[in-house]
Every structure is written in structure tokens, then in C-alpha cells.
Structure 1
Amino acid sequence: MKVVDSIVAQVSGQIASGLYKAGQKLPSVRGGAEQFGVSKNTMAEAYDRLVSRGLAFARQGSGYYVSENRPAPVPKVRPDVTEATSIMSLLREQLDQNYQTRPGDGRPPASWTEDADMRRILRTSRNTAAEVDFGYGSSWGLAALREWLRVSLAERSITTEADGVMLTSGVNHGLDLIIRHFLEAGDTVFVDSPGYYPLYAKLRLAKANVIGIRRLEDGPDLEDLRQKLIVQRPKLFFTQSQAHNPTGGTLSPAHAFTLLQMAEVHDFRLVEDDIFADLLAPALPRLAAFGQQQRVLYVGSFSKTLSASLRCGYVAGAPDTIRSLVDLKMITMVATSLHVERVVLEMIESGQYLKNLRRLRNWIEDGAKATAQALSDVGLEVKLPKVPGFYIWVPLPLALDETAFCRRAAEANIFIAPASVFYADRDVFVPPAMRVNVAYGADPRFCAFLREEIKNSMRSGGPNE
């Protein structure tokens, strides 16, 4: 932490605790500098930051005083977050981050993806006023980045034409465009179950009929799919091939081939989410690699591998479909951020992105091993996925009440992502489980909480009853 940040944090804490009352004069710049052992310039900067945050104000020639109208403190945990069992609660917590311990988080910590070199590039990006076009940019997205994506996709055996890839503001924007373009109220869609819970909310907002297809370790349950195709006629099937969220599973070649055959026979499109692709081996099976452009839409993003704050993703598919999605993008938001796309391209061309990926793969591998060992030590059955990713799916004792478990975790300042949220049908019984982010799974506070919960569940009837 920088010296200025440390001073601001300490004085803010003193104000919050009541050591300095509203309207009270703070130590002079000279006195504060002597107290903290810093220069007067450093102390003045710290006071200016307190002013900008509404915690203090300056009187010319007199000094700095504690503000009488300070911002109201944000509550640490709101009631809806305490429940932690609804889609909106989990989505809100991903952004607001009320909890200290975060095994249920969907993202890696910033320290895993954003280092000093990245921050330097963000500060000194070559997007100077002389070089940046201050217009909207192309509705397709930055041409040079799209061309890099075409080369990258080719390494995964995914052939894409020049007008077969467009840029979006992340995967969720791509999914939203696809939903808007293809679906009308009442249309049936298939989804992985368990699967990506924010997608369920988008589909229900579009008034689609959402049907879950059981997700197995090696892909969608093909028998479950066959049975549901007897009575349902889906327009789309949303699925994630590799490093599946939330189970960590992977798509086998046999499942991929059969799934494409069934899509052809029953005339539905497959929407393949491959958000972790750049972290994974290019030779892993992808539905889009089988050459059926009219049958598969392929979506990806840099948000999980570069930075969540750089909202940049893409959709690849048949050119006629992509052109329609670009038109819809223009209608709904005109264009994506040319500045963000240039920054992403600069990180790629500078070698920073490749450096980030190498570091991130090591973090994931080490985190997965540490998480598996820590959770096994507390008495849970943990199976590492075949393909390393951010998530491990962890079954909980059957005697455990999942809702009460999440509530107790929230009271202990621990963010849990429970199994029930990841299932398309919330009315069916779901065995208690949770998605654990490997960045946080070995946290001592989390493990101590789990150890106590497992002990209590055994007292109440045993883990397998």
C-alpha cells in the first residue's frame, strides 16, 4: 500500500471511530507530517484525498476540518445478500463485494490478472488524442483485434471468415444479442443444468421457456437430451464446452459429435460459451471446430483472463448471422468501446497478455491443488476437474440444509455460491453442493467454518443420510 493510501486509511478510521468529531480541526499539515513521518507534500495529498471523499473540508488559511455531512457508511451485508440463494443476490455480490471471504466468487482476484506492467500499459496506452478516432468506431469492433481473434480461433481448429466475428462488451453482451435476435416470448431453449446462472435470468427476462439438460462430467447428458427432444422443440441450446461453470467439467469428442448430429436432426442452434479458451489447450474439443458454422455460435471474452474492468468479448459464426447481430448491436448500443479494444490489442501485441496467461495458469494449478487438499482435510469429497479451471464443484453432506448453511456463512462474512442457484429448474430437489473458486478455497476461515458445519451435520444425522 502506498504511504498516502495508508495515511488516508488511518485518518478515515479515526474519523469513523469518533476520535475526530464533525467540525473538529485535523492536525496541521506540518503536524500530520511529523506524526506520520512523511513530507508536508505527502500529508497535503492525503488531506486532499479525504476532502475528495467528503470526509474533510479545507478552510483557506486555517487548515482541514472533519466534514459535518460525511457520506453514510455502506452496510456490510444487506438482507438479500444474507440469504445468498437467489440469482440476483449472487450477481449483486459479484459487483458490490460485501464479504471478506469469497469462495463463491465467479472471478479470479485482481492480483491474479492485473500486475504492475498491466497498470503501466493502462496509464500510458498509446491511445493519445492524436491517434484515437473520437468517433464511435466500427460497429463490428476494432478490425486489428478481430483479425487477431481469427488467427487465435484457427489455432483451435475454428475457421472464421473476415465477416464471421464481431466484438462485444463481454460474453454477457454477446449472449444478450443472441437471445434478442433468435428468441420470441414462449420459445423453448435448452441450457446446461447446473450451468451459468446469469444466463437463466436473461432468458427469463426474454420470457423464454427454459429447459435444463443434465450436465455430466464429459458434457450434456445425451440421454436426457434425447428424452426432452421427444416433446420439446428448442431454438437454441446454450452450453459451455471446457472448464464448465460451475462443475469444472469438459466436453468429450464423442459428446461433441453426437450433440452436433442431434442439433442437425432436430434443427436447433448451439451457443457455445468458451470464456476460458485462452487458458486451455487449443486442441480440446470445441463444437465450433466441427465446421458447422450455421449450427454453432461461438462466444468468448477477455474479462476472465485479462481484466474484468476491460469489457471486451466476441461472437463468431456464420457471416449472415453475425451481420444480423452487428445490426442489432447498432440498434441497442451503437458500438462497443474502441478505447477498450485498443487497450486489449496493445496488451496482446506487447506480450503482456501472454505473460498474464502463463502466470494465471500457474495460479489456477496451484490454487486447485491447495483447494482440493484443504477441502479434503475438512472431510469433503473433492474431485479435481480433468481440465484445470477456476471452479471445483463440491458436494456437501446430504443432512445439510443448504439455505441455512448459506445464511450461517453470510453471518460469518463468507460468500457461498450454492448448488441450487445453478439449476434451471428451482422447483426440483438439488443435493446440497457449492461452486468453489480455487483462488479462495483454501482460505483458513472458510475451512474452519466448513469443519464446524460438517461436524454439526454429522451430529444431526450423518453426512449420507
Structure 2
Amino acid sequence: MRIARAEQIARNIAQQVERGHLVPGARLGSVRQAASEFGVSKNTMVEAYDRLVAQGYLEPRRGSGFYVARPRPKTSAAIRPAHVSEAIDLVSLLREQLNQHYAVRVGDGRPPAAWMEGSELGRHLRLSIRGGERIEHGYGAPQGYGPLREMIAGRLIERSVHVTAEQILLTFGANHALDLIVRHFIEPGDAVLVDSPGYYPLFGKLRLARANVIGVRRTADGPDPEDLEAKAAQHRPRLFFTQTLAHNPTGTSMTPAGIHRLLQQAERLGMILVEDDPFADLLPPITPRLAALDQLERVIYVGTFSKTLSASLRTGYIAAAPALIRSLTDVKMLTVVNSSGYVERLIHDLMADGHYRHHLNRLRERVARASAQAMSDLTGIGLQDFSAPAGGYYLWCPLPEGVDDVALARRASEEGIFLAPSSIFSLDREAHRPALRINVAYAEDPAFLDFMRQTCAEGAVA
């Protein structure tokens, strides 16, 4: 009952904002005042305000209260998706089965949604229905659930990346997003640049595509500009895949100056930059990133909910120029047909109800506490030379002289300890300094600390 009442209140205030009765910048009553005005408890009023913040109608200001947010630009209504009006090839036939422009559907490849009404699937999923919207058991729109794309576009605007929902393509997580980009751009033999150390599953995808994968040395401040310049001049790559913020595996973030320099290099060298940003929701929206400076002209932006919500939900997205999104949507249709509308609705509802925002607040606090504890514990057992994590889960920990990272990982496994050696993340395994990627969530485990303390005391491990 409290949730239903909170939704009614949120809808009432949202209508006042949309009709201009509450103007941008206007301060709303405190939770206590508003609860008295609406005749509800303070918890119900907090729930209503959280929904309005999640939906972009209000913005909270610490110690001051809630204010009407600046209006966001209209998204889906402004740009109509292109479609082929006849089933003249396999892509247009797939597109019509997903978008459904025709009322008479003799050429469809599935039964009508009405045949699935009352199915056991529907009873068990118990998905919420908002505003009388009917949940169908078909493929759904090929770009993904529209309201979630609208919400993601709003979050990107908060990060100063000015996009519309038509510039968002939903995927099965960031890995699927990267796979679509590789399939679209890469031909066998093409040169592609990546961070080294970097995201090792990406190395595998590029090798499957038979690309010439070239590592650019990653420093604490980002890709080494001189190494990038030399390798780009030699190999003429079309793409550079990089993680600007809370880098996996080193945990570090690029400086604003480094971001600006990288964009200048990409422009001069004719490269497309693919910015993978898995920890964006844990970082302040104003954090500088490639996509914000470039506005998706030369940058393709990849986001995900897997690192902040659940890896099992497998939902991510690509933000890019409209023409590229249309092409990537075709690749998505040809490879997996569509992503999961059920999961996308679930994530949308969590965001719209304010639950995701609460979860992120708790998660940020946990990450901050665990990062501080990990640095203290590791320093206490004699490890050093590591950089402080920049808001993600990882800390890059160089090993003492004479310790081989792979040999150390094998020895740890014999004691039931799983380690991630730096060799896995580096393309040039001869040149890299042995290190470990440490997940701060597990770093305080006594068995791990005892094992590493013994390693530091013994010295060489080979």
C-alpha cells in the first residue's frame, strides 16, 4: 500500500512539473512538510521523492532538500527510427518482426502474443505493469526496451553526454556490446589497439575475429601517449579500445589532461575510440570522460549494469551516433535477434522506483571502505607501489622482486586461494612487471593476507 501511495504522489508532482506549475530550480517542501500535506508517513514521502529523483524530475541537494531538475531534451519523439517497409532481405524481415509496423502479420515467424496470455511464464515472473501497459511475450523492439533507453539517455545527459534514446542500443552486458562493435568494424588482419594491461576477455574476442591485437602501455595516468603514437604510426589501427575510468585491471583513472590529449591523438591519427565505462554509476556524474568531451563523434561509449547490479542480469548498452546505432542494431538482430525484454523491464522498474539509487549509495560506501582497508592491510604486510583505486573494485599490486606472478597464482591455488596474475592482462608478457589484480571486496580475507605475508617474507617465488 505504501508503494502504491508513493507512486500516486510521485505522479502528482511529476504532472505539476510537466505542466509548468513547478518550475526548474523550485524547492519542494521538506519530507516532513510534504508528508503532512499529503497525509502520509515520512517513509512514504521519501519513497515518492526517490522515484522523482530516479525519473529525473527532482534533484537532491545535500543539507538543503529537493529541487525541480532542469528539463531534459525530448528523446524518442524527436528522431524516428528508420525502417524498411517491405521484407525484401533478411535484415528488413527481422526488423519488421521486432518493430511490428504492420497490423496483418502473415509473414511473422512466431505466434501472436495473445496465445501466450495466462501462461505459466507470466505467472511466475510477476512483472509489474505500469500505466496499464501490456507485457507481451514476443521479441520486443530490437534496440531494447524503450523506457529503459530513455532512462539511460537521461543518466548520460547527467554525465554531460548529450544523447537521445535513439542513440542507445541495449545489449547482453558490456561483453556483448564489445562483440557487436568488433563484428561491425573488424576484418581479419586489421590492426586494433588495446590497453596493456587491459581487459583480457576483449583480447580473446579480437583474436577470434583474427585481428592484429596491439597493446598500448597503460600507466597510472592512462595510455602512454608516446607508446600510442609510435604504434599507431606503425600499424594504422582503426580502433582503440580503452577504459578511461576505474580501469580494469589497474583500478586507475585517466587525468582530464590525458583524456583531452587522447582525443587529439585520435583525431590526428584517424582512430575511433571505444570507451568502456563499467563503473560509471559508482562515480560522480561530473567525472571527465572521453564521451563527454567528444559527444560521440569519434567515441563509442559502452556501459553496463553487470558490475553494479548483477552479473546474472546481463544488461548493458552502447551509445553512439544514430547511423552507427542503426547498423549495430542490425548486427544484434542477425546474431542474437534481441536482448531480454523481461530483464530490461526489471532494471527499468528498479531505477524508476528509486531502488537502484539506494543500492548505488550503499555500494559506493562499501567500495570506499573496502578500498581503504585493502590499502592498509597490503601496506601492513610489506606490499607497496600500488595506486589507490579510483572508485572501482580493483587494486593493481606489484609483487616484490623475484616473485613470478603465475608461479604465485599456482602456489596459491594449492591452498584454495584464487589469484589473478598480471600476465593474463598483458599482451607483452616479457616486458610487464609481475603484479596481481586484487578485488578489494576480498582483500581482507585472513588466509589471503597470511599467504601474501609469507610470500613477502620469503622473497623469490618461481
What does 1:275-290 align with in structure 2 at a 5 Å threshold?
275-290=278-293
Matched, 1:237 2:268: no
1:251 counterpart = 2:258: no
Once the 2 structures are TM-superposed, how far is the Cα of residue 386 of structure 1 from its aligned partner?
Answer: 5.9
> RMSD across aligned C-alpha pairs, in angstroms?
1.9
Matched, 1:409 2:401: no
**Partner residue of 2:275 out of 272, 285, 291:** 272
Match of 1:446 in 2: 448
Identify the residue that residue 175 of structure 1 maps to in structure 2.
178
Distance 1:130 1:316, change over 3 A: closer
Shift of 1:157: 0.6
- Asked if the contact 2:290–2:299 (Cα under 8 Å) also holds between the matched residues in 1, the reply is yes
Secondary structure of the 1:234 match is coil
Are the aligned partners of 1:297 and 1:317 in contact in 2 as well (CA < 8 Å)?
yes
- Going from structure 1 to structure 2, the CA distance change for 1:216 and 1:304 (only over 3 Å counts) comes to same
Q: Match of 1:453, SS?
A: helix
- What CA distance in whole angstroms lies between the structure 2 residues aligned with 1:162 and 1:349? 16
Residue 263 in structure 1 maps to residue 266 in structure 2:
yes
8 Å CA contact 2:409–2:419 kept in 1: the answer is yes
Give, in angstroms, the shift of residue 335 of structure 1: 0.5
Structure 1 partner of 2:39: none
Offset at residue 452 of structure 1 (A)? 1.1
Secondary structure, counterpart of 1:271 in structure 2:
strand
After superposing on structure 2, the runs of 4+ consecutive aligned residues of structure 1 that deviate more than 3 Å are 122-125, 127-131
Instruction: Supply the AA of the counterpart residue of 1:430.
Output: H
Provide the secondary structure at the position in 1 that maps to 2:301. Answer: strand
Query: Following superposition of structure 1 onto structure 2, how do residues 35-184 of structure 1 map, counting pairs within 5 Å?
Result: 125-126=127-128, 131-184=134-187
Aligned twin of 1:22: none
Residue in structure 1 matching 2:376, options 363, 370, 373: 373
- The whole-number CA distance in structure 1 between the counterparts of 2:238 and 2:343 is 33
| C-alpha distance 137-145 of structure 1, shift in aligned 2 (>3 A) | same
> For 2:224, which of 217, 221, 224 is the aligned residue?
221
SS at match of 1:244: coil
Count, aligned residues:
338
Q: Secondary structure at the match of 2:312?
A: coil
Aligned to 2:46: none
Output the CA distance in 2 between the equivalents of 1:282 and 1:230: 34
SS in 1 for 2:267: helix
Match for 2:380: what amino acid? Answer: D
**1:351 and 2:354 correspond:** yes
- Does residue 457 (structure 1) correspond to residue 459 (structure 2)? The answer is yes
Give the counterpart letter for 1:402 in structure 2.
D
Measured in 1, the distance between the counterparts of 2:196 and 2:292 equals 23
Shift of 1:229: 2.1
Amino acid at match of 1:181: H
CA distance in 2, matches of 1:274, 1:357: 16
Residues 142/159 of structure 1: CA separation in 2 closer, same or farther (3 Å cut): same
Offset at residue 123 of structure 1 (A): 6.9
What amino acid sits opposite 1:378 in the alignment?
A: I
| Contact 2:150 2:164 (8 Å CA) reproduced | no
Q: 1:337 aligns with which of 337, 340, 346?
A: 340
Give 1:453 shift. Answer: 1.3
Equivalent residues of 1:161, 1:319 under 8 A apart: no
Could you tell me whether the CA contact under 8 Å between 2:190 and 2:212 is conserved in 1?
yes
CA shift digits 1:242-287 (9 cap, x unpaired)? 1011111111111111111111111110000001000001111111
Q: Specify the alignment match of 1:304 in structure 2.
A: 307
| Gapped regions of structure 1 (runs ≥ 5) | 1-121
How far 1:387 moved relative to its partner? 2.1
Deviations 1:9-54 (A, max 9, x none): xxxxxxxxxxxxxxxxxxxxxxxxxxxxxxxxxxxxxxxxxxxxxx
Q: Distance in 1 between matches of 2:284 and 2:459?
A: 40
- Give the 3 Å change call, closer, same or farther, for CA 376–431 of structure 1 in structure 2: same
| Structure 1 position 429, deviation (Å) | 3.1
Mapped to 2, the partners of 1:348 and 1:241 lie a distance apart of 25
Q: Secondary structure at the match of 1:370?
A: helix
CA contact (8 A) 1:368 1:384 kept: no
1:384: Cα distance to partner?
4.5
Shift of 1:382: 5.2
Q: Could you say if the C-alpha distance between residues 257 and 448 of structure 1 is closer, same or farther in structure 2, counting changes exceeding 3 Å?
A: same
CA distance in 2: counterparts of 1:235 and 1:393, whole angstroms: 29
- Alpha-carbon separation, structure 1, partners of 2:391 and 2:344: 28
State the TM-score, normalizing by the size of structure 2. 0.71
Structure 1 residues 167-205: Cα deviation after superposition (integer angstroms, max 9, x where no partner): 001000000000000000000000011111110011011
Matched, 1:192 2:195: yes
CA–CA distance in 1 between the matches of 2:389 and 2:221?
9
Kept in 2: contact 1:191–1:424 (CA 8 A)? no
For residues 44-70 of structure 1, give each alpha carbon's deviation from its aligned partner in whole angstroms, at most 9, with x where no partner exists: xxxxxxxxxxxxxxxxxxxxxxxxxxx
- Tell me the amino acid that sits aligned with residue 196 of structure 1: Y
Structure 2 alignment gaps of length 5 or more: 1-123
CA distance in 2 between counterparts of 1:130 and 1:289 reads 34
Name 2:106's counterpart in structure 1. none
What is residue 87 of structure 1 aligned with on the other side?
none
SS at match of 1:226: helix
Instruction: Give the alignment partner of residue 421 of structure 2, picking from 394, 418, 423.
Output: 418
What percent of counterpart residues are identical? 50
Relative contact order, higher structure (CA 8 A, sep 6+): 1
- How far has the Cα of 1:351 moved from its partner? 1.2
Structure 1 residue 208 and structure 2 residue 214: aligned?
A: no
Structure 1 residues 161 and 127, CA gap change in structure 2 (3 angstroms): closer
State the 1:208 CA deviation.
0.4
CA distance in 1, matches of 2:350, 2:176: 22
